[in-house]
Structure 1
Amino acid sequence: MTENRAQLTSSEIASIWTSYMQDSMSKCVLDYFLKHVEDEAIRSVVQFSYDLSSSHIEKLTTIFQEEQIPTPTGFTYDNDVNLNAPRMYTDLFMLTYINHMAKIGLLGYSGFVSISARDDIRNYYREGLNETSELFEKSSKVALSKGVFTRAPYIPYPTKTNYIDTKKYLSSGRPLNAVEISHLFLNIQTNLIGSKLAISFAQGTPRDNIRKWMLRGRDISQKHMQIFTKTLIDNDIQAPCPSDVSITDSTTPPFSDKLNMFHMSFMSAAGTGNYATAAAASQRSDLIVNYERLSLEIAQYAKDGADIVISNAWLEQPPGTIDKEQLTKKKDTME
């Protein structure tokens, strides 16, 4: 660690560790995408995203080394990606996937900035926030040009400012407001990407328990999409109709089961965060209840996935504190 520089806080260690794990995963996924992408406009987006992940890995590695903290294993080319695997994903899926991951990245980087105290760490995440914003802009423009950027539902412009004058506004009987529609729309999109990933991972895995877990994740995502879509339709709002961003019929796995399990756990965590935000922002009681009960379903799914990962010794442990009680017991034994 550089002399006279403040030691990293627990929040900063958590941030760089989490970032390294996610960027090492992304780098493997994007390298496989680069091997198969055909559309030149989409390739430019994939390349830009790959370059960002590569740059982030280099910078984070330097931080770990300077602080004399062990660099996480994360995910590597040698163990977690098969570049010779046939094409699993269409170009449009790659584009939609990157656009969606950029949204998650924007939330993540803004959060990391807010919990970092040291100048160099805050600067790293501010720069990452700007880079991810540029990635979202690039991927959105290409998606718009390809006709696959799914817009949120339109509603009439308000003609005046209104105030809530009855508690009935909080009941399930009133029409949806714009805030509630926006969250329903976002969560439909999130579950669509999650269901497609789950299917692709199920197609390739040789392990029966992982295949069943992935297909269960697909079923959960599809069920949640149906609930959110029905809510919109019941309120005379056209549900978003995303273009087909399907996968191919290849059964050769491009990624390791370890990476796939981490990826689905990451998506589950992002989905839970989206549901919590949506529940807090929504005012209709039925929406809040739905988000809370569906979050519990995701939590149980994630727990069952963690059990699989632990049983295969794939779950890398984040940096933590020392168990002082165990340390005392060990000392007593030695004496």
Structure 2
Amino acid sequence: MTENRTKLTSSELASIWSSYMNDSMSKCVLSYFLKHVEDDEIRSIVQFAYDISSTHIKKLTSIFQLEELPLPTGFTKEHDLNGNAPKLFTDMFMLHYINHMAKVGLLAYSSFMAMSARKDIRAYFMEGLQETSDLYDNSSDVLLSKGLFVRAPYIAYPTRTDFVDSKKYLNGYSVVGKQRPLNTVEISHLFMNIQTNMIGNKLALSFAQTSPNEQVQKWMLRGADISKKHVEIFMKALMNNNIQPPASSDVSITDSTTPPFSDKLALFHMGLLSGAGTGNYATAAAASQRNDLMVNYERLSLEIARFAKDGADLMISNGCLEQPPGTIDKHKLAKTKDPE
């Protein structure tokens, strides 16, 4: 890198700031997992994920220091992790969680890379994308070896290619006659959103179960109910097409009520998953060709958005919503500047 390096763009600032927040959170969660995981194969995956997050924090810290930027507060073991909390998650949940968060990371890193222009920043996110790909691949292998990998539904192979010959193909609502069967693109998105909501449901329940704050408990239980309702809607869409929705055998939490994480971390984590869920629904709505599915994704996205907004309000009222880098308020600056 030359001494006259180009300054970071707003997109690059947003990307490294978001990455630091996410990795500092992940490091706390994975540190807790490492203390309680019992299965050796799953431990190796948790350790791999922890090492990735730890390395990312070091590299991102160097970038912030090089650019003379204030380092985000993020999340730390000292303030956001209770090392003495008993086991809250089963080993199987830990494995499914890491596999799911790797998927979230793949989308995030590809987006960050696409928004970056400077060579060193692109290189950082390309490396992160590869590491996250390896994490997803390795965790998938362990899930498969233990018979825990939840596969998407199977369908009969098509015997020929075909073209849509009527606008009725787009109709999902039908008063008279039958709805057209789901296609594989629609099935895949329904399946994926069932799986992500199941993880979100368990995580929200675990945070509600352990939080000492009544407002946080209520918000988390609301999130768990939303996830459960969305799972039921997506499952019904599959069942109405005689497709049995696959489900995990054991993705559960223990009965511990001791909080392993701060409310700040729990609220941030659910906000992160809500944002990822909204993105998944938008992608699913755009890819689905039956209008009933499009409408469902749009209205359910609004429900998630309201939930996320209330979560942000809760974080603000508790003084724990960290502000991303922003522009200077020129009007405020003009009113508060020192007189000459």
**One fold, TM greater than 0.5?**
yes
Identity score, percent: 70
Structure 1 residue ranges, 4+ long, deviating more than 2 angstroms after superposition: none
Measure how far apart 1:3 and its partner are: 2.0
Q: In the aligned structure 2, how far is the partner of 1:293 from the partner of 1:11?
A: 29
- What letter matches 1:306 in structure 2? A
Contact kept? 1:95, 1:139, Cα under 8 Å: yes
Count of residue pairs brought into register by the alignment: 334
How do 1:249-264 and structure 2 match up within 5 A?
249-264=255-270
- Cα gap change, 1:334/1:311 in structure 2, threshold over 3 Å: closer, same or farther? farther
1:297 is aligned to 2:322:
no
Q: In the aligned structure 2, how far is the partner of 1:215 from the partner of 1:314?
A: 20
Q: In the aligned structure 2, how far is the partner of 1:12 from the partner of 1:26?
A: 21
Q: Output one character per residue of 1:121-170: Cα deviation in whole Å (capped at 9) or x when no partner.
A: 00000000000000001100000111110000001111111111100000
Contact kept? 1:2, 1:66, Cα under 8 Å: no
Q: In the aligned structure 1, how far is the partner of 2:265 from the partner of 2:15?
A: 20
Measure how far apart 1:329 and its partner are: 1.9
Q: Which residue of 1 aligns with 2:330?
A: 324
Contact kept? 1:170, 1:283, Cα under 8 Å: yes
Contact kept? 1:80, 1:255, Cα under 8 Å: yes
Q: In the aligned structure 1, how far is the partner of 2:2 from the partner of 2:79?
A: 33
1:74 is aligned to 2:74:
yes
Q: Which residue of 2 aligns with 1:272?
A: 278
Q: In the aligned structure 1, how far is the partner of 2:213 from the partner of 2:335?
A: 40
Q: Output one character per residue of 1:35-79: Cα deviation in whole Å (capped at 9) or x when no partner.
A: 000000000000000000000000000000000000100000110
Q: Quick check: 236-245 or 206-215, which moved more? A: 236-245
- What letter matches 2:271 in structure 1? S
- What letter matches 2:159 in structure 1? T
Q: In the aligned structure 1, how far is the partner of 2:56 from the partner of 2:2?
A: 20
How do 1:1-335 and structure 2 match up within 5 A?
3-172=3-172, 173-331=179-337, 334=339
Contact kept? 1:2, 1:67, Cα under 8 Å: no
- What letter matches 1:120 in structure 2? D
- What letter matches 2:180 in structure 1? R
- What letter matches 1:79 in structure 2? H
TM-score of the superposed pair, with normalisation by structure 2: 0.97
Q: In the aligned structure 1, how far is the partner of 2:38 from the partner of 2:80?
A: 23
Q: Output one character per residue of 1:266-308: Cα deviation in whole Å (capped at 9) or x when no partner.
A: 0000000000000000000000000000000000001111111
Q: What are the ranges of 5 or more consecutive residues in structure 2 without an aligned counterpart?
A: 173-178
Q: In the aligned structure 2, how far is the partner of 1:241 from the partner of 1:200?
A: 19
Measure how far apart 1:104 and its partner are: 0.5
Measure how far apart 1:327 and its partner are: 1.2
TM-score of the superposed pair, with normalisation by structure 1: 0.98
Measure how far apart 1:2 and its partner are: 6.1
Measure how far apart 1:334 and its partner are: 3.8
